[in-house]
């Protein structure tokens, strides 16, 4: 892929934007995340093509974090190279998100929610991506050992210094979301968005978080809407060689149980009738809530990316479909991030 990339003139013909809560910001209903597949010393040609294809199809939002890779930091560094070359002239058309919260470097200041860590981490992220500011900066997880006021101070500082335009939080419980929203409000900042894990088999946000976000006027971007590939037909028969469950990755192969397979087979029948794949139906289903602004996807190939984006062709569900889906869309206890939202 040469440096002469020119974005498609049809990139805004896709009607895929949704207003983020009560803000002035529209986000694409599908966001491309760079958690996996964008790390390494040099970005793979396929990964680069995916970023361009996404942008050509109206995906203006790219989601990163300090520790994405592997190794940690490499996804931001690789994305930064593309931003300073091929995407440079499109910077003002792009929303770039980053986060701080998880383990990034050794010692007591390398993770969680202290002002020391958050400030240093954002500075490092900006340096890696060669940016003056990110559009959205998140507290990546709730820190039970640091006063929330201190984390709020650090986030306020980021905006005040012009290093972030908007602030978000990720994997916070409903209670802590309300608290952080108030603390930021006291500092003159509106918390823009919450990023929780949410899918057909991980439905914890339906209990009270969605209601809270609606009440506060916050947007919501659901991560892991395909439950890291579990909401696809790839695991129906056996675990494929190239998959997250087969690599030393974030999906434990023990989660591929008999009860899970029965659910998937039945969900596939519903998806077939909708002329969708399971993955497409799973994305449309997550977006059915008015509170959910965007679904955050990861992709390994251009085909996977296109498949996900094509889910936007059918976002409507009948009451009967939703009722049938509810029979099979049950908890599989796969929320790896639940510790953060327990408080």
**Mean predicted lDDT score pLDDT of the chain:** 93
pLDDT over 70 (residue 219):
yes
At 332, the pLDDT band (50, 70, 90 cuts) reads confident
**Mean pLDDT on 189-195:** 98
Strand pairing category for 292-297 and 30-33: parallel
The answer to the question of residue 336 being in a domain is: no
CB 252 within 8 A of CB 243: no
Q: What is the pLDDT of residue 338?
A: 82
Q: Which two tokens stand for residue 136?
A: 């959205």
Helix or strand run (H / E) with residue 33: strand 30-33
The answer to the question of residue 207 being in a domain is: yes
pLDDT, tens digit, 9 for 90 and up, residues 220-273: 999 999 998 899 988 877 665 655 555 545 667 777 888 888 899 999 999 999
At 103, the pLDDT band (50, 70, 90 cuts) reads very high
Q: What is the pLDDT of residue 152?
A: 98
pLDDT, tens digit, 9 for 90 and up, residues 299-331: 999 999 999 999 999 999 999 999 999 999 988
Distance (Å, whole) CA 111 – CA 103: 5
Domain that holds residue 183: 17-229+280-316
pTM, whole model, 2 decimals?
A: 0.94
Q: What is the pLDDT of residue 218?
A: 98
* Tally of domains in the chain: 1
Of 81, 85, 146, 90, give the one whose Cα is nearest residue 117. 146
How many helical (H) and strand (E) elements, i.e. helices and strands, does the chain have? 10, 10
Strand pairing category for 191-195 and 134-139: unpaired
The answer to the question of residue 181 being in a domain is: yes
Q: What is the pLDDT of residue 241?
A: 61
Distance (Å, whole) CA 188 – CA 169: 16
The answer to the question of residue 329 being in a domain is: no
At 90, the pLDDT band (50, 70, 90 cuts) reads very high
- Neighbouring C-beta atoms of residue 216, cutoff 10 Å: 17
- Any idea what the CATH number is for the domain that residue 195 is in? 3.20.20.100
Radius of gyration of the chain (CA): 19
**Mean pLDDT on 49-77:** 97
| Percentage, residues of the chain above pLDDT 70 | 95
Burial class (CB in 10 A: 0-12, 13-18, 19+), 23: middle
The answer to the question of residue 43 being in a domain is: yes
The answer to the question of residue 169 being in a domain is: yes
The answer to the question of residue 248 being in a domain is: no
| Percentage, residues of the chain above pLDDT 90 | 83
The answer to the question of residue 210 being in a domain is: yes
């Amino acid at each position: 892929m040469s440096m002469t990339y020119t974005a498609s003139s049809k990139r805004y013909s896709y009607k895929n934007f949704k207003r983020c809560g009560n803000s002035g910001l529209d986000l694409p209903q599908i966001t491309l995340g760079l958690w996996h597949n964008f790390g390494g010393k040099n970005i793979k040609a396929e990964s680069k093509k995916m970023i361009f294809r996404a942008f050509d199809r109206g995906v203006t939002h790219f989601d990163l974090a300090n520790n994405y890779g592997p190794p940690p930091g490499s996804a931001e560094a690789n994305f930064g190279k593309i931003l300073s070359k091929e995407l440079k002239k499109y910077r003002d058309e792009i929303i770039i998100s980053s986060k701080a919260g998880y383990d990034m470097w050794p010692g007591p200041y390398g993770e969680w929610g202290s002002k020391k860590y958050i400030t240093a981490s954002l500075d490092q992220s900006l340096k890696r991506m060669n940016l003056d500011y990110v559009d959205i900066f998140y507290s990546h997880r709730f820190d039970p050992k640091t006063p929330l006021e201190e984390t709020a101070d650090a986030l306020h500082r980021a905006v005040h210094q012009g290093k972030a335009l908007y602030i978000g939080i990720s994997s916070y419980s409903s209670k802590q979301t309300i608290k952080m929203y108030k603390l930021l409000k006291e500092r003159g900042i509106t918390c823009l968005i919450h990023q929780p894990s949410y899918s057909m088999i991980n439905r914890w946000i339906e209990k009270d978080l969605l209601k809270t976000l609606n009440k506060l006027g916050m947007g919501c971007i659901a991560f892991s809407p395909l439950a890291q590939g579990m909401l696809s037909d790839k695991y129906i028969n056996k675990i494929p060689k190239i998959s997250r469950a087969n690599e030393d990755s974030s999906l434990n192969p023990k989660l591929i149980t008999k009860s899970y397979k029965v659910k998937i087979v039945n969900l596939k029948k519903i998806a077939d009738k909708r002329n969708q794949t399971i993955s497409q139906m799973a994305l449309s289903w997550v977006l059915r809530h008015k509170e959910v602004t965007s679904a955050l996807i990861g992709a390994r190939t251009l085909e996977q990316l296109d498949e996900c984006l094509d889910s936007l062709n059918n976002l409507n569900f009948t009451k009967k479909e939703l009722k049938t889906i509810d029979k099979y869309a049950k908890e599989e206890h796969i929320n790896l991030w639940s510790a953060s939202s327990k408080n």
